[in-house]
Amino acid sequence: MSLIKEIEKRKTFGIISHPDAGKTTLTEKLLLFGGAIQTAGAVKSNKIKRTTVSDFMEIEKQRGISVATSVMAFEYRDKKINILDTPGHQDFAEDTYRTLTAVDSAIVVIDVAKGVEAQTEKLVNVCRRRSTPIIVFINKLDREGRDGFDLLDELEQKLDLIVRPLSWPVGMGQSFQGVYSLYEQKLVLFRPHGKQAADEVIEFSDLDSPELENHIGEQAAKTLREEITMIEEVYPPFDKDDYMEGLLSPVFFGSAVNNFGVRELLDCFVDIAPTPLPRPTEEREVDPAEKNFTGFVFKIHANIDPRHRDRIAFLRICSGTFERNTNYLHVRHGKKVRFSNPTSFMASKKEIVDKAFPGDVVGLYDTGNFKIGDTLTEGEELHFTGIPSFSPEQFRYVENGDPMKAKQLAKGIRQLMDEGVAQLFVKENNNRKIIGTVGALQFEVIQYRLEHEYGAKCVYEPTNMHKACWVTCDDDKAFKEFHVRRKKDLARDKDGNLVFLAESAWALKMAQDNHPEVEFYFTSDMRKEQ
């Protein structure tokens, strides 16, 4: 099959939402439709022992939350669908932000009762800045929730989206009877209490037909006709080009846990979602149809299989064909590398792939050569842009909780820091180690993973820290004076770069005022951001 045909087969998207909106449950149902799994798991249940495919880490199974992006692929209607299920919790937003650089479109999940929540606003804002096409799925229609038009207003006001409903609910909660698909002009009836063996779909191009009352009753039929008329009058008609440019967002309604409304969402997604898109680099724009292979690392995960202590770099393929056992240029290192066992994913399950194409995500076994943002090419020196890095906002001293496991602790901390979820600083004056994260929950995850994946224990001690700033200076004399005067506030990151640890905003400003020759950077890639 030609490269162009392979590209046209692929749809790569991320699922994003506020925690507990049903994002991971929706992922399970999409995999179910694609035949990738036989039985959907439960995110958290006392009765159901099967956990979801995408929440494969032990702490995810116990806490019922996603703490790392999962990558899954399946075939549906002759298309290869690549799903990236992201963490919803704000403390893991770094992983989500980076993942959004590797997708071509997004599905946003909204809880019908809670509406638009804070983390959803942040994630959609990232998509909007990149003009990423967005489909909205309003979930949990089998529960009592807010009025559909109120939710559409909130989507427009809080998320700054122009929306167009492509399905519409018939009732809600106890009175929920199904959805009417404006996209396919079909009525899909809901059977509550686990009786939904298969969707009961009725062709209904003419809502004025008296047959409608026979299926949903007189009052529901009247309400549905009025609401569909209002939709057609108030909201813009669906235009695929506007959606592809990120200017219009289709909205679907359903209940992921009941596997209802998901097929309509998936069928429309396959019809309209973009195939792999061009990607910007510092040097030029890379088109997927280019003959030569390019790709970038957007995520690193240590111990994806704790029994084998493997470390995987997730590579998004941007152009050309990636082939097993072929030499490629590692641009940052300036040397050729080859991979004998690149893998495709079903969360933690992997299988070796011989070829992969633009839009695919490939796992590369890594012994420490990769950093997030690294580029692989067939020889051209390219640097993909838009992969965010973050300045830590929470800090803790980390101490060894078991002196017999010092080596395991050092290895565990080093590998977990390489994932990009946290950063390690070693103080210049006393060699004490400090971990910095964006969110407090990351400390708990690091502690749990150190114990259960590396057999090491760590304990935290509080430290009064406001900001970590990377520092450079072209004036050696001024830099040496800064180093001597500020030694108690200086540390080295894991790459040996000098970092100023400010105790307060005032201390940072004083350091900047007193040492004007020194440049202060707020991310480790030495770009001046705040």
C-alpha 166: how far from its chain's center? 25
Of the candidate ranges 1-10, 185-194, 366-375, the one whose mean pLDDT is the lowest: 185-194
- What residues are paired with 376 via a beta bridge? 295, 330
CB 163 within 8 A of CB 249: yes
Beta bridge partners of 363: 314, 343
Estimate to the nearest angstrom the gap between the alpha carbon of 349 and the chain centroid: 19
| Alpha carbon 515 to chain centroid, angstroms | 39
Residue 389, pLDDT score: 65
pLDDT for 198 equals 53
User: What would the two tokens of residue 28 be?
Assistant: 């399970």
Q: Give phi and psi for 487, each to the nearest 5.
A: -55, -35
Specify the pLDDT at position 349: 58
Q: Which amino acid is at 314?
A: F
Task: Enumerate residues 6+ apart whose C-beta is below 8 A from 490.
Answer: 427, 428, 429, 483, 498, 499, 500, 501
Cα(109)–Cα(117) distance, integer angstroms: 11
For residues 502 and 489, the answer to whether their CB atoms sit within 8 Å is yes
Q: Are 252 and 135 in contact (CB under 8 A)?
A: yes
Residues 6 or more apart from 30 whose CB is under 8 A from it?
74, 81, 83, 262, 266
pLDDT tier at 305, thresholds 50, 70, 90: low
Decide if domain 394-521 falls under CATH 3.30.70.3280: yes
Look at residue 357 in the predicted model and tell me its pLDDT. 96
At 202 the pLDDT is 79
Q: Exposed/middle/buried for 117, CB within 10 Å: 0-12, 13-18, 19+?
A: middle
**DSSP symbols for 68-106:** S-EEEEEEETTEEEEEEEPP-SGGGHHHHHHHTTS-SEE
Question: Measured between alpha carbons, how far apart are the two ends of the chain, in Å?
Answer: 47
Question: What would the two tokens of residue 60 be?
Answer: 């995810």
Rounded to whole angstroms, the Cα distance separating 292 from 45 reads 48
Phi-psi domain of 273 (left: phi exceeds 0; alpha: psi -120 through 50; beta: other): beta
Q: Which long-range contacts (CB under 8 A, 24 or more apart) does 350-353 make?
A: 350/304, 350/305, 352/324, 353/324
Task: Categorize the per-residue pLDDT at 306 as very low, low, confident or very high, splitting at 50, 70 and 90.
Answer: low
Residue by residue, DSSP assigns 411-440 as: HHHHHHHHTTS-EEEEETTT--EEEEESST
State what percent of residues in the chain have pLDDT above 70.
85
Q: Residue 302 class from Cβ within 10 Å (0-12 exposed, 13-18 middle, 19+ buried)?
A: buried
Q: Which residues contact 356 (CB under 8 A, 6 or more apart)?
A: 317, 321, 322, 342, 344, 362
Is 429:483 a contact under the CB 8 Å cutoff? Answer: no
Q: If you count them, how many residues does the chain have?
A: 530
Cα–Cα nearest to 301, from 358, 354, 343, 353: 343
Q: What is the pLDDT of residue 194?
A: 52
Task: Name the average pLDDT for the chain.
Answer: 84
Query: Is the pLDDT reported for residue 419 higher than 80?
Result: no
Among 36-40, 163-167, 256-260, the least confident range:
36-40
- Structure confidence at residue 94 as a pLDDT band (50, 70, 90): low
Q: Does the pLDDT at position 31 exceed 50?
A: yes
* Contact predicate 317/82, CB 8 Å: no
Query: Average pLDDT of 384-409?
Result: 85
pLDDT-derived band at 303 (thresholds 50, 70, 90) equals low
Taking every pair of C-alpha atoms in the chain, what is the biggest distance, in angstroms? 88
Q: What is the dihedral of CA 233, 236, 238, 242, to 10 degrees?
A: 180
Q: What is the mean pLDDT of residues 485-504?
A: 90
- Which residues make up the CATH 3.30.70.3280 domain(s) of the chain? 394-521
CB 499 within 8 A of CB 468: yes
User: Does residue 510 have a pLDDT over 90?
Assistant: yes
In the chain, CATH 3.40.50.300 covers 3-170+237-272, 279-377
Element (H, E) at 256: none
Residue 172 and residue 111 in contact, taking contact as beta carbons nearer than 8 Å: no
Which class would CATH give 3-170+237-272?
A: alpha beta
The conformation of residue 51, written as its DSSP 8-state character, comes to: B
Fold exhibited by the domain 279-377: Rossmann fold (3.40.50)
